[in-house]
Amino acid sequence: MLMPINRLEREKSPYLLQHSHNPVDWYPWGEEAFARARGENKPIFLSIGYSTCHWCHVMERESFENQPIAELLNRNYVAVKVDREERPDVDRIYMAFVQATTGGGGWPMSVWLTPELQPFFGGTYFPPENRYGHPGFRSVLTQIAEAWRTDRERILDSAREVVAQLEQQAAVEPGHSGPVDQALLEHGFFVFRRTFDTQMGGFGGAPKFPRPAVFNFLLRYWDRTRNREALDMTLLTLREMAKGGMHDQLGGGFHRYSVDERWFVPHFEKMLYDQAQLAISYLEAFQITGEAQYAETARRTLDYVLRDMTGPEGAFYSAEDADSVIDPEDPTVKGEGAFYIWTAEEIRDLLEEPVAEWFCFRYGVADGGNVAHDPHQEFSGRNILYQAVTLEETARQFGRPQAEVREALERASGILLEARARRVRPHLDDKVLTAWNGLMISALALAGAVLDEPRYAAAARRAADFLSVRQFDPETGILLRRYRQGDSAIPGFLDDYALFAQALLDLYERQFDRRHLDLALRLTAEQRQRFEDGSHGGFFSSAEGDSSLVMRLKEDYDGAEPSGNSVAALNLLRLAGLTNRADLREAARRTLAAFTPRLLAAPAALPQMLCAGERVLAGGRQIVIVGGPNSPATHALLHAVQVHFLPHASVLLLDGPESRAFFAAGAPAIAAMETVDGQPAAYVCRDYTCQLPVTTAAGLEKLL
């Protein structure tokens, strides 16, 4: 085992600890590094990545573990490492610079800063030497050091100018356009329609990334318009993703993205935020269609998370690496997806005939391997499992009853999963991030209600309790972002407040514990105090007062994760629907107004914000259930609501005088809602103007 030899040994981030043995004299992001840069008048070399990043590992092996390159870095620069998952605020600022100056971005991100933290040169991965038309890292380090020595004033002037330009480009202010309307949402739909792959699903060509915020918008657009295309685009994409190698056919869960257009060859990293959001997409598809295939994919995804990504205290880990050990005899040699891929011989050794043949036919296993395009020879002679044919086609091919084949293949999958578990698992990033845990709590809360599965409901509650106790200080209102090995740290960002508040809202509307709603309201109040732009609307991603940030951004891109602003807008609308508070409704309106110019210019960049627009157009709808929380009749009414896709309805439970008084404070009509002849009752309302109550699930179904 390599001994730590730099300052990163004091950190908790798995990514920073991975670099604690480098000969580079790394500093974590902080005043110690900045003071040295100012004192010695040296530029800062900033390297940003995360622990399960493939090319981060490559650059470490090639450059940061290279003694001559390390000496060059140590002599001329103050070297700083940042885990982008711990410090998304730092990552966003310098990613904006790299994208603006190079036209692209990614990780590892390499940025050179002045001692005042202003960027003046950047890129992503650099090979150690000049290669394939790319400048080598050694050469770049040498040239920048010389430029700093001979032309420092020009560099400083340029850096100041760049930051001013970035601030101007990033400014988010309401324009002269009107509110979000039907025409804007139509525009958003047609942008996705134009880029949709009608054969394999997804949007655009390879590589294909799952982007669940797009599904969220398309399903809500379908719910309002009943435009079948929006639904069909989503369902086709979900089906094709589930069939492909991007979906772990044995263990459940999804890899980060597909390098090809047919979801077959994945980048094998597994991220918590993908599992959470995709589980929700499959559950909503199940609510709409009633088709078991979508529920099954959601179950397998959530079961994977509970099995392999859940800590002993109930919180969820961040990610599993793409790279894994190829040969246990030499654990230093790793390959992309080695943990997940198989030779045909390995499968035949583990399974008896004819089941081995059935399995290979069903999952596309070939004797010489099934990856035709393999430029790095990662998969030579090996197979990525995918659903090459259906279960029905497999049964027909071998002339056996479908039930027999299904049972045999399920047993075979269990045998292979057990064998795979004996391999060396990929590196686990076991830090707990509040924002990402919020996404997973939302998924489990939905699954517990829609699938009527107490195990998922309990897991959602347990994780929420963990965050409430370990990450939130009720005295100060500070929510912390990261937990690892007993240590909670880093004041939370907009994403943390918004996504945890969203999770608590989802828990309330699925399980009806008022504690969750109360904390969602408290977090939203804290979020508004710390991040809201009182002048122009919307929310900054970071709180005011951090001198290490050269600018404050309002993040708006709904990418792999939804932006904090989109989630905040939806939370405000949902809380206004539950409490009828005008101040929350107005804050939501101001947030949408701030981003309307962006929505008009590039609606495809903000699909989750479009969901907020859909909720505005849908208007206020409430479903109020009156009854004891432990009554089977109450449960029947609630279940009748939960199984339906009702994305814009506010669901309230009046289970006693306290809850009645709380909700009646905002909507006095609630005070008169009672059980009917002693039976739990459901009221379906529009802006708290209600239809006659019903007491049976069948009666409620008709109203819904």
Q: Among 171-185, 296-310, 345-359, 426-440, name the one with the lowest average pLDDT.
A: 171-185
Amino acid at 169: Q
Q: What is the mean pLDDT of residues 268-291?
A: 98
- Nearest CA-CA partner of 646 in 565, 595, 577: 577
With b for 16 or more beta-carbon neighbours within 10 A and e for fewer, the 491-521 pattern comes to ebbbbbbbbbbbbbbbbbbbbbbeebbebbb
Name the pTM for this structure. 0.97
Q: pLDDT class for 447, splitting at 50, 70, 90?
A: very high
Residue 273 near residue 437 (C-beta atoms within 8 A)? no
Average pLDDT, the chain: 95
Q: How many residues are there in the chain? A: 704
Longest dimension (CA), the chain: 88
Which of the 8 DSSP states describes residue 354?
T
Residue-by-residue DSSP string for 634-652: HHHHHHHHHTS--TTEEEE
Q: pLDDT class for 178, splitting at 50, 70, 90?
A: low
Alpha helices in 512-605 (DSSP H): 514-531, 564-579, 582-601
Q: pLDDT class for 176, splitting at 50, 70, 90?
A: low
* C-alpha count within 13 angstroms, C-beta hemisphere, residue 685: 21
Question: Which residues in 91-209 belong to E strands, given as ranges?
Answer: 109-113, 119-123
Share of residues in the chain with pLDDT > 90 (%): 92
pLDDT digits (tens, 9 = 90+) for 679-694: 999 999 998 889 999 9
Ranges 369-383, 438-452, 628-642, most confident: 438-452
Q: Could you count the other beta carbons within 10 Å of the beta carbon of residue 14? A: 23
**Is the pLDDT assigned to residue 206 strictly greater than 80?**
yes
Q: Tokens 């000496």 sit at which residue?
A: 71
State the pLDDT at residue 172: 84
Decide: residue 416, CB within 10 A, 0-12 exposed, 13-18 middle, 19+ buried. buried
598 vs 4, which has greater pLDDT? Answer: 598
**Is the pLDDT assigned to residue 10 strictly greater than 90?**
yes
Q: pLDDT class for 2, splitting at 50, 70, 90?
A: low
CA distance 156 to 25: 24
Q: Among 365-369, 377-381, 540-544, 575-579, name the one with the lowest average pLDDT.
A: 377-381
User: Who's near 687: CB < 8 A, 6+ residues apart?
Assistant: 619, 620, 622
Residue 42 near residue 87 (C-beta atoms within 8 A)? no
Handedness of CA 428, 434, 439, 442 (dihedral sign): positive
State the pLDDT at residue 4: 62
**Is the pLDDT assigned to residue 132 strictly greater than 90?**
no
State the pLDDT at residue 366: 97
Q: What is the mean pLDDT of residues 20-32?
A: 97
Q: Sketch out the chain's domains with CATH numbers.
A: 7-170 (3.40.30.10), 340-422 (no CATH), 621-703 (3.40.30)
**Is the pLDDT assigned to residue 171 strictly greater than 90?**
no
* Percent of the chain that is helix, strand, coil (3-state, to 5): 50, 15, 35
State the pLDDT at residue 565: 98
Residue 412 near residue 351 (C-beta atoms within 8 A)? yes
pLDDT digits (tens, 9 = 90+) for 453-494: 999 999 999 999 999 999 999 999 999 999 999 999 999 999
Residue 551 near residue 93 (C-beta atoms within 8 A)? yes
Which of the 8 DSSP states describes residue 270?
E
**Dihedral, CA of residue 68, residue 74, residue 79 and residue 81, to nearest 10:** 50
Show the tokens assigned to 301. 């995804």
State the pLDDT at residue 362: 98
Which of the 8 DSSP states describes residue 10?
G
State the pLDDT at residue 35: 98
pLDDT digits (tens, 9 = 90+) for 345-382: 999 999 999 999 999 999 999 999 999 988 778 899 99
State the pLDDT at residue 668: 94
**Is the pLDDT assigned to residue 515 strictly greater than 70?**
yes
pLDDT digits (tens, 9 = 90+) for 83-114: 999 999 999 999 999 999 999 999 999 999 99
CA distance 696 to 685: 17
Show the tokens assigned to 621. 């709808």
